[in-house]
Structure 1
């Protein structure tokens, strides 16, 4: 048992507010059952910081609360959180935190930048184009594509476009979440997630891979993620060569981006090998989310995973 104070931050000023609240509540509840003193902080949709009683405390009050804790546990998914914003605040406030630093969060959130990093490592990605509102009219549909915001999460604004008529609405849906949009070729392959945990001693722990089973010709979009019970297979049935290729690529991306704590690296496994989809530096973190379930397959409970992350974030 420990009385270590941990600031658990949820919510956020973005489209993933509710998902972030769920992750933060699960983390805080589990830490409290393990004996930690969880200091619950929330950022509401307007960007106002609030305390456990839902009272507004402003940024100065939030910094004061953070500094009263031994470590912060940011659980904001998406922009204004996962993109390194909270890591930068913790860094400036001189409060250790669980998770990746500013640079890794910013690069991981930016799907176009992530593709460039992958290319430098020789890791395949789907061929794609970066569009802005000003240049979107010049894009001509020629084959099935996936349209997505460059910097958003939970598959919001992501659309599989099968014909020219669907392109305009798909672009509008993506531009509703970001000023930049990525149009990628549709990749045919198995959807495989790999979780990488970086330890304080520099070692890397890779959990058993997870396969997301989706119907043929479909994608794992927001409705599939949150509209029912996703079909996850853990561990993913993989031969040894594919497993090693996926793990090598996942650790390569983790290190090249400069990640810390735990990150989820998502791939399509094709006949030609792994194709990187995206990197999540603050993945979903309820007991039923992918990453905790992947580590549970090793025998590590949700509580044990959280305890390890907190202890590794504390000053040596």
Structure 2
């Protein structure tokens, strides 16, 4: 088949998505497909897509995993990998995702939503019963851009008034936990949704930040994670519940942290990174799935997607 691997785009995560797209494209070519990598920074990239049999979504951030690209591919009637419009949008907007978790009894941290332009007293009111230190991150972005540990209202206001190439309009603040990130990958294999072994990411930086996520020298992956079997099974079960609740499909990753009362769900990633040494590939390998098999499985799932309405 002719496969377009979609990467890049205007988000701060766009450039880093080549670490997913390049090895995925090589794996697809090794499987016998005719493959092109397409950078979504070209605003007319969509005009080329009708010449392909499918799109392999490897982009990250805005426009790539928030439902906008998925809506475009639906309109073009082009088979594509990963979740659809609604699940992608839910996974990207963290406050909405966390409200959904809470409504269905899934454990997640309390949080506050903060917006640019908020005055000092408005920030204090929004924080309500939350206590410092807090962890603050954009409401609709990933890869730990603009994220960090916060110790005061003044720290928050500095972020809310900051300038730069990428600035968000809305942020989420939640209690800071000094524990390692745990994550569970989910794959749809031959119609069956499977949770992969739990992975623990041990960052050598203060937290699992953008630098640590993209530099293998700064992070150690432990997979399967050194946790009791019962705890690992609990996180895998929760990952599957989150995946199903949000209507995800094909591939995904659910992140956790350990709170005093047990694991809490942090985020849902509907287009997880696919670097050769990334966490999804590491979890797949621990489950006996090679990188090439993982990529082939993700592509195949795009052709089994439940039908959507086509007028």
Match of residue 72 from structure 1: 55
Of 7, 10, 23, 1:10 maps to: 7
Match of residue 19 from structure 2: 22
> 2:123–2:153: 8 Å Cα contact kept in structure 1?
no
Of 268, 271, 275, 2:260 maps to: 271
Q: Distance in 1 between matches of 2:87 and 2:259?
A: 27
Q: Kindly state the Cα deviation for residue 136 of structure 1 after the two structures are TM-superposed.
A: 5.0
Of 64, 89, 99, 1:81 maps to: 64
Please tell me whether residue 225 in structure 1 is matched to residue 222 in structure 2: no
Match of residue 299 from structure 1: 288
Please tell me whether residue 167 in structure 1 is matched to residue 164 in structure 2: no
Which sits farther off after the overlay, 185-194 or 170-179? 170-179
Q: CA 1:124/1:103 → structure 2, altered by over 3 Å: closer, same or farther?
A: same
Q: Distance in 2 between matches of 1:171 and 1:263?
A: 31
Q: Kindly state the Cα deviation for residue 99 of structure 1 after the two structures are TM-superposed.
A: 0.4
The RMSD of aligned alpha carbons is 2.1
> 1:8–1:74: 8 Å Cα contact kept in structure 2?
yes
Structure 2 unaligned regions, length at least 5: 306-311
Could you say what secondary structure the match of 1:124 adopts?
coil
Match of residue 139 from structure 1: 123
Q: Distance in 2 between matches of 1:310 and 1:23?
A: 14
Of 182, 187, 200, 1:211 maps to: 200
1:37-186 pair list within 5 angstroms: 37-44=34-41, 48-49=42-43, 58-59=44-45, 62-63=46-47, 65-137=48-120, 138-140=122-124, 142-172=131-161, 176-186=166-176
Q: Kindly state the Cα deviation for residue 215 of structure 1 after the two structures are TM-superposed.
A: 5.8
Q: Kindly state the Cα deviation for residue 17 of structure 1 after the two structures are TM-superposed.
A: 1.5
> 1:130–1:182: 8 Å Cα contact kept in structure 2?
yes
Q: Distance in 2 between matches of 1:37 and 1:174?
A: 43
Q: Distance in 2 between matches of 1:133 and 1:258?
A: 31
Q: Distance in 2 between matches of 1:308 and 1:244?
A: 23
> 1:156–1:222: 8 Å Cα contact kept in structure 2?
yes
Q: Distance in 1 between matches of 2:93 and 2:30?
A: 35
Could you say what secondary structure the match of 1:139 adopts?
helix
- 1:276-311: per-residue Cα shift (whole Å, max 9, x none)? 111110111111111011101122111111111112
- 1:247-277: per-residue Cα shift (whole Å, max 9, x none)? 1111111011111111110000233111111
Could you say what secondary structure the match of 2:218 adopts?
coil
Which sits farther off after the overlay, 130-139 or 180-189? 130-139
- 1:15-47: per-residue Cα shift (whole Å, max 9, x none)? 111111221111111211221111221112xxx
Q: Distance in 2 between matches of 1:21 and 1:246?
A: 29
TM-score w.r.t. structure 1 length?
Answer: 0.87
Match of residue 55 from structure 1: none
Q: Kindly state the Cα deviation for residue 200 of structure 1 after the two structures are TM-superposed.
A: 5.1
> 1:8–1:38: 8 Å Cα contact kept in structure 2?
yes
The 4+ residue runs of structure 1 with deviation greater than 6 A are none
